[in-house]
Structure 1
């Protein structure tokens, strides 16, 4: 005789298996998230939660480089003046913004609820706010485990690099963008670059105040005040600038240049989140010569 009381239990078990095979409601919802900020875009991609729309994707691929941007994301145009029609057509259920785009929020809010993050603020290191943003987004989209794993992996990567770069702790690093052959933008303690240097056990040669991470323009002669520093050149570099500097008597007389302590890094988003922090740490670690800790 068949025990019919087993049927409900069997149906419940099958229902549970079917539910497990489907995306969770939170994971489905994240596919309808949009952002107007690159640091949020980095974070979403790092969590495996690609937004439906984001701005300046071609430029992001060139400047931020990573994480990779899938072709399914709608490009909203310029960050400062996003295409609101395309954003509306993307049907986001949630729009992530940042303190850089407060003026756009009234228009954004007509399309979908807006959540804003503030990573960069004068005088405040951005690493912990970036980690908090990742945790918040992870919790909102049902990806808390992914967020915690990414943060833990970031800390582990930094710890490994910090140990390997101990010989370089005797010299500071000055991270800069060249504005032209006579001026540069420098990143201070309240920048992601400055924060990463600290977490790698390296000193930032620039100890003066900055505003929202950087100061510009700074005359190239200021580099003479930091004769022991490694100069970390971060793109973009003006066309022809390096050729001009190569023939400049003043540039070649700088102690760091004369000692061949100039590092040319690949492009990094200077106002990014944890993915940008990890990229800078990795590129810097690769650029500093292992055999010349006291070079």
Structure 2
């Protein structure tokens, strides 16, 4: 394993602090952390400890949108085929990964110690694993208080949004992503979007089984089974798809469309951490209330 040893200067400083009885600095100030997973990247940014390196930053800025990525973070390229040479040159002392990248871990461990999380798995809701990951990252980096505060702020934000949505009752929502103008992917109860719906007091209109993320492809005709639901359309939207749908007699005949229950949300990372969950909750709440107001 290729490790990055501590410098003699830093070791001496820590020894001096220990000898004098002064508090040691937070671990986060000492470790050079990298990550190959976007949910961990979101979490590090939200906790105020940006990594030295992470993958697909341009795409992250477009898809996840928030938290903002500082310009000093090295872009490791594609998540599935990261630039190991650049990762090595970034000199990380710790690499955070997830079960999505288990095949890469033997190579990652040759660069630095790896800590991996299992967040998204079949038939298991991801919210509690994301909370556990956030706590683990906070504890590992010496910022456990910051992590607990962020978790508490997340729950408080959900509670506030749930209160705003109370007049709507358990309004059914179907969160979808268009595959093309005739098919969509749907997010079920074991997705992060499904988890957020529960915490907002809303019903997921899609009750069939999904596989921890989005089930696809499903023909648009399946939407006739959920005529009372709000359709929450989550980017990316294929080029030309909305123009094609706008001219579709079937699409325009759907009760959801006729009654103004199409919500076009901003982009959100579907495999994200608590920051993605909060973004979805906020965007969905604002869109629902605006649509209800428009419908009178």
Does the alignment reach a TM-score above 0.5?
yes
Alignment of 1:280-295 (within 5 A): 280-289=280-289, 292=292
On the 8 A contact 1:180/1:238 being kept in 2, the answer is yes
Shift of 1:243: 1.0
Cα–Cα, structure 1 residues 59 and 290, in superposed 2: closer, same or farther, change >3 Å?
closer
Whether 1:28 aligns to 2:26 is: no
Whether 1:259 aligns to 2:259 is: yes
Shift of 1:240: 1.2
Query: Which structure's CA Rg is the greater one?
Result: 1
TM-score, normalisation: structure 2: 0.90
When the two chains are superposed, the root-mean-square deviation of aligned CA atoms in Å is 1.7
Residue number in structure 2 paired with 1:120: 120
Deviations 1:4-47 (A, max 9, x none): xxxxxxxx9xx77xx67xx81502234x0100000000000011
On the 8 A contact 2:45/2:69 being kept in 1, the answer is yes
Residue number in structure 1 paired with 2:50: 50
Residue number in structure 2 paired with 1:173: 173
Shift of 1:168: 2.2
Unpaired stretches in structure 1, ≥5 consecutive residues: 1-11
Shift of 1:212: 2.4
Deviations 1:55-105 (A, max 9, x none): 000000000000000011100000000000000000111111101000001
**Paired residue secondary structure (2:169):** helix
Aligned pairs, number: 277
Deviations 1:96-133 (A, max 9, x none): 11010000011101001111101101111111110100
Residue number in structure 1 paired with 2:98: 98
Deviations 1:164-219 (A, max 9, x none): 10122342000000000000010000100000000000000011111122100011
Cα–Cα, structure 1 residues 291 and 283, in superposed 2: closer, same or farther, change >3 Å?
closer
On the 8 A contact 2:94/2:114 being kept in 1, the answer is yes
**Paired residue secondary structure (1:201):** coil
Residue number in structure 1 paired with 2:8: none
**Paired residue secondary structure (1:41):** helix
**Paired residue secondary structure (1:97):** strand
Runs of 4+ in 1 over 6 A off after TM superposition: none
TM-score, normalisation: structure 1: 0.91
